[in-house]
Amino acid sequence: MEEEEKTNKERKILRHEILNGIWSFETKSGDNIRIMVHCHSLLSCIEIWDEESDEWYEEETDDIDDFNLTDSDKGYKFDRDDIYNFFDIEEGEPLDWENSGFDDNLCGIEETDDINTSEKKWNTYKDKFPLVSSKSQFVIKEKNNNQHSQTGKEAFEQFIKQQELEELNLYDILKGNKELKLSHEEIKKRESQLKNLSLEERKKKIREWFNIKL
């Protein structure tokens, strides 16, 4: 299967990725709450074989399924509506995102698995977690007085800073060029697309996204 894919120079695979972080918000009574969030996504990826580097490179990625967990590899499934229901939040009150890391493949998908096998592994993993049924099942984090909740822009800037290489500091280049207002979903998508890229490929992506010169 692997040699046939290389001959065709293109393949489709599924990948399980997890974005870890915290959602913070204010309740109707004025309490400031911070809860742990582990956002699991099943991605459909089109990869192109590069003969020169002898590696697969990601060409296109789509999010085909997702769910949130109250803890890293355990706990309860929930969605944004559950947070508003259990914590008595005003309609329209924003959930501020604070990024805290990135994981992948907790459901056991192998690079050589076909689509059906990958989907079965994902569904088996997803189905083992019960739905949240009470406020007490969420993991609430105490706020450090020396910290503040990150906006989407700050979370993306932190990600860029973590990805910087000696040859190019992408954080400094982006900073001040264009105001970034990124949602949690946009952060997930961009993290996934930048994850395995080379320096030049990252530069190309950043230019395409923000229309800036590098």
The predicted-structure confidence for 150-208, as pLDDT tens digits, reads as follows 455 555 555 555 554 434 444 444 444 545 555 555 656 666 676 667 777 777 777 77
The last residue of one of the domains, among 119, 144, 169, is 144
pTM: 0.63
The percent of residues in the chain predicted with pLDDT above 90, rounded, is 31
3 state DSSP class of 25:
strand
Say yes or no: 60 and 160 in one domain: no
Question: How many helices, marked H, and strands, marked E, lie in the chain?
Answer: 7, 5
Q: State the pLDDT confidence band at 125, using cuts at 50, 70 and 90.
A: very high
DSSP alpha helix (H) spans, the chain: 2-8, 80-87, 115-127, 152-163, 170-174, 184-194, 199-210
Say yes or no: 190 and 211 in one domain: yes
Q: State the pLDDT confidence band at 99, using cuts at 50, 70 and 90.
A: confident
The last residue of one of the domains, among 144, 170, 192, is 144
Say yes or no: 103 and 53 in one domain: yes
55-69/96-104 β-pairing: unpaired
Q: What is the mean pLDDT of the chain?
A: 77
Q: Is the pLDDT of residue 144 over 50?
A: no
Say yes or no: 59 and 101 in one domain: yes
Say yes or no: 96 and 157 in one domain: no
Residue closest to 17 by CA, chosen among 47, 48, 38:
38
Domain count, the chain: 2
Say yes or no: 57 and 155 in one domain: no
Q: Is the pLDDT of residue 10 over 70?
A: yes
Cβ(86)–Cβ(138) under 8 Å? Answer: yes
Residue closest to 56 by CA, chosen among 204, 163, 201:
201
Average pLDDT over residues 2-14: 70
Question: What is the pLDDT, as a whole number, of residue 65?
Answer: 95
Question: What is the pLDDT, as a whole number, of residue 176?
Answer: 47
Say yes or no: 129 and 160 in one domain: no
Say yes or no: 81 and 168 in one domain: no
Sheet with 32-50, edge to edge strand ranges: 77-78, 55-69, 32-50, 10-26, 96-104
Cα separation, 188 vs 90, whole angstroms: 26
CA 46 to chain centre: 18
Question: What is the pLDDT, as a whole number, of residue 106?
Answer: 87
Say yes or no: 16 and 69 in one domain: yes
3 state DSSP class of 189:
helix
Helix axes 199-210, 184-194, angle to 10 degrees: 150
Question: What is the pLDDT, as a whole number, of residue 43?
Answer: 92
Question: What is the pLDDT, as a whole number, of residue 38?
Answer: 93
DSSP alpha helix (H) spans, 9-114: 80-87
The radius of gyration of the chain from alpha carbons, rounded to an integer in Å, stands at 19
Q: Is the pLDDT of residue 70 over 60?
A: yes
Range of the domain at 114: 2-144
